[in-house]
Structure 1
C-alpha cells in the first residue's frame, strides 16, 4: 500500500493528541521558597507589564514598573495586587489582556507575604 502525503497527514490528524483543559497550565504546588523581586517578580513585570509601564510609561499607564522601588511602591500604595487579581475587566491588569496565570499571581502574593524583599 502506497502512502501519500495526504494519507500521512490524515493519519496524523486522526491520531493526534488533544487537550483543551487549562488545568495543566497552573501549578498548585505550594510555594516553599522565599520570593524576591530580583529572583521572581522582575521577570513577571518585564514579561507582562513593561509594554505600558515602561520608563516613561505609555498608553495611559500612570507609573513605571521597571525597578524594585517602583514595583514595591505600587504594591504598598497603588493596589497593584488588587489590579492583577480583580475580576472587574475594566480594572484588570494587564489592560485588554487575559488575567495573569494563577501561578504568577501566587508568586506576587507570596512576595508580599515574604515582606517585598529585593534579593
Structure 2
C-alpha cells in the first residue's frame, strides 16, 4: 500500500512542478480580434525597430516609420523576424521579438494589412 501511495504522490508532484510561464501559455492562443497597424503593429515596430529603421539610424536606407513602409515590405519583415536565433539576418539585430509579437505581425498580414 505504501508503494502505491508513493507512486501516486510522485506522479502528482511531477505534474504539479511543470514550469510554464504566462507568455508560453498565451503564445499558443490564437489572436481572435482583427489586428490593425495603429492599434497592434505600430507599438511593436516603434519599440523594436524604429531606432535603426528611421532617418539617422543604422538601417535608415530601409525606414519603417510609417504604415505604407511596413505594408510594402511585410513579406521581408516577417521573413526577418521569423528567422532562428543566430541567423545574421534575423531582426531585430541582437535581439528577438516574442513569439506573440511575431504572431501579431503575421496575423496583421493575414487580416489584410488594415491601418485603423
TM-score range, shorter chain: 0.7 to 0.9
Unaligned runs of 5+ in 1: 1-20
TM-score, with normalisation over the residues of structure 2? 0.74
Runs of 4+, deviation exceeding 6 Å = none
3-state SS, counterpart of residue 80 of structure 1 = helix
Unaligned runs of 5+ in 2: 1-18
**Does residue 85 in structure 1 map to residue 82 in structure 2?**
yes
TM-score, with normalisation over the residues of structure 1? 0.72
**Number of matched residues?**
95
Distance 1:105 1:29 in 2: 13
The structure with the largest helix share of the pair is 2
Q: Aligned runs of 1:1-119 on 2, under 5 Å?
A: 23-26=21-24, 27=26, 28-54=28-54, 56-76=55-75, 79-87=76-84, 88-97=86-95, 99-119=96-116
The CA RMSD measured in Å over matched residues stands at 1.7
